[in-house]
């Protein structure tokens, strides 16, 4: 993707986000969530465009299915063996 297209896309996204923030009435908290989501999406898109996002996909976190704290295996309010003694 040429650099000019990337810059034009960033300008379009910025202008659209500015118009939404200025002319669509919404609570401040919703505006900040919307702005945060747009920034995260744009950063991920830029990482993908420059080829850095694919290298991030090589990082894996192993899930063994076991929980250290036992929260998943003990519903709230149940008594464990440690609490009985």
Domain ranges of the chain: 3-56
Q: What pLDDT is recorded for position 11?
A: 96
- 85 pLDDT band (50/70/90 cuts)? low
Listed in sequence order, the DSSP H helices in 1-85 are 3-23, 28-49, 53-56, 81-84
Give me the sign of the Cα torsion angle 8, 13, 16, 22: negative
- Between CA 38 and CA 9 the distance in angstroms is 13
Instruction: Name the pTM for this structure.
Output: 0.61
Q: What is the pLDDT of residues 65-84, one digit of tens each?
A: 666 555 555 555 555 555 55
Distance of CA 47 to the CA centre of its chain: 14
Q: What is the pLDDT of residues 4-46, one digit of tens each?
A: 999 999 999 999 999 999 999 999 999 999 999 999 999 999 9
């Amino acid at each position: 993707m040429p650099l000019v297209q990337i810059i034009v896309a960033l300008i379009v996204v910025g202008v659209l986000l500015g118009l939404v923030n200025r002319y669509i009435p919404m609570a401040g908290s919703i505006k900040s969530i919307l702005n945060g989501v747009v920034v995260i999406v744009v950063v991920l898109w830029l990482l993908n465009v420059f080829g850095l996002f694919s290298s991030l996909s090589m990082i894996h976190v192993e899930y063994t299915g076991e929980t250290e704290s036992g929260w998943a295996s003990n519903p709230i309010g149940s008594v464990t063996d440690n609490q009985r003694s």
